[in-house]
Amino acid sequence: MELRRWPRKNDPDSIRARQEELAPRLDGEREVFEHDLTPFAKATEAITGVALVPVAVVGPLDVELGDYALEEPDGRLVERGRGREGVYVPLANTEGGLSISLYRGARAVGESGGFRTYVLKDRITRASAFLFADVGEAVAFARWIEAQVPEMQAWLASDPVANLSRHARLRELETHVVGPVCHVMYAYTTGDACGMNMITRNSYALNQGFVLERAPIRPQRAMLEGNMGGDKKPSARYFERGGHGKTVVAEATLSEEAVRRVLKTSIDDLAELAFVGTHGAVASGMQSVAFTPATAIAALFTATGQDIGMVGTSSMAHGTARRVDGGLHVSMRLASLEVATVGGGTTLPYARSWLRLMGCDGPGKVYRLAQIVTAATLSLEISASAAMATAGSENFYRAHFERGGLR
């Protein structure tokens, strides 16, 4: 195989060179090349064209949102107030029925008193690993490093090396010894950014500049990530405890009237579906208890420049449904919702605008965005469940069949 290097630069000549090289493979379809790529030149190497995804907008979602901030120095979330408003959500998708179904769920909740959302936790984790000669050394190292957090915080604050992120603040660390390896889970907060790049830089600096310099037992190897970190791979650890983004819960109490009139089903139907679906999830070793959390999250992530590779981890979902007086209480817990309102893809055109539509562009908005995404996810979950819960799931079938859009 020929090993000529593929040009990676994003100057106009390099872009054009790539396009010309590839054009023959496209049989004259050049629309993908015909956008101004300048605004995107720093987004990815070897940029060559664009993808364009249609965006539906539905709303308003009637949501009571919490106003959250991190308490210093421990980084615990505190709720400073709550407010209710109507929000429109942009859904980049090509799945006929999705947007109208989500809207139906939102209307049912709107008629029932609205959503309420809560952010429970905010951490993002880089799990470095240190390999030793034996378990005894790894255990001794674990004991040592567990006591270093204050010193590490001070060291990072002293600006010891260039290009550290000030937004990424180390909050805690946790160790896990298995075999001759000590995994170290560094937990950070990262402001309004998702923060993986930030915490990578800071963790690398910690490992090289602090740990390897000071550890009483020198590891054979230091690895920036030893795969306990939950980055883009769902795991039991992060499903239970969060730690890769925001842990958020949305809830609503559906009235009998709204269930009947808007959702065209009954509380009984929904309760029986919850029974069947919860045990079905357990039976197949599904981690999430939910019908379709990833659908709404994917549509919002694509519209707003989030990392699409994080759709799977952000969709680790635990939904509940419980009869209460006069209706059905429903909730959706997203354990590790990885969203940003600054940095990465959120800085680009289109993404920026769709964030703005929700009042989520720029700093200080990340908890707002996390709550809106969770409410939207619960909206779709309610509607999809309602469609499935009718006799024989007739409504679900119709949604797929009649409004199935592209086939």
Is 301 in contact with 355 (CB distance < 8 Å)? no
Q: Which amino acid, residue 179?
A: G
400 in active site: yes
Q: For residue 173, which phi and psi values (nearest 5 degrees)?
A: -140, 160
Among 18, 169, 171, 368, binds its own copies (CB under 8 A): 18
Is 122 in contact with 167 (CB distance < 8 Å)? no
- For residues 267 to 306, the per-residue mask of contacts with its own copies, x marking binding by CB under 8 A and - elsewhere, is --x--xx-xxxxxxxxxxxxxxxxxxxxx-xxx-xxx-x-
Nearer to its own copies, 131 or 153 (CB): 131
Which residues in the 122-161 window bind its own copies by CB under 8 A?
127, 129, 131, 133-136, 139, 142
d(CA 299, CA 294): 9
Which residues in the 331-390 window bind its own copies by CB under 8 A?
331, 333, 343-345, 347-354, 356-357, 359, 388-389
Which residues in the 44-103 window bind its own copies by CB under 8 A?
44-60, 62, 86, 88, 90-100, 103
Distance of CA 57 to the CA centre of its chain: 20
In a 3-state reduction of DSSP, which class is residue 309? Answer: helix
How many other C-beta atoms lie within 10 A of the C-beta of residue 103?
22
Among 144, 197, 210, 217, binds its own copies (CB under 8 A): 197
95 in active site: yes
d(CA 333, CA 354): 24
d(CA 44, CA 258): 46
First CA to last CA distance, the chain: 39
Q: Find the shortest distance in angstroms from Cβ 96 to its own copies.
A: 6
DSSP state of 5: P
- Number of shown-chain residues binding its own copies (CB under 8 A): 183
Nearer to its own copies, 154 or 162 (CB): 162
Nearer to its own copies, 69 or 178 (CB): 178
Which of 122, 251, 307, 338 is catalytic? The answer is 307
Token output for 279: 């045990």
Which residues in the 198-217 window bind its own copies by CB under 8 A?
198, 200-201, 204, 207-208, 212
Token output for 232: 């883009």
Which of 176, 264, 329, 400 is catalytic? The answer is 400
Instruction: List the catalytic residues.
Output: 95, 232, 307, 400
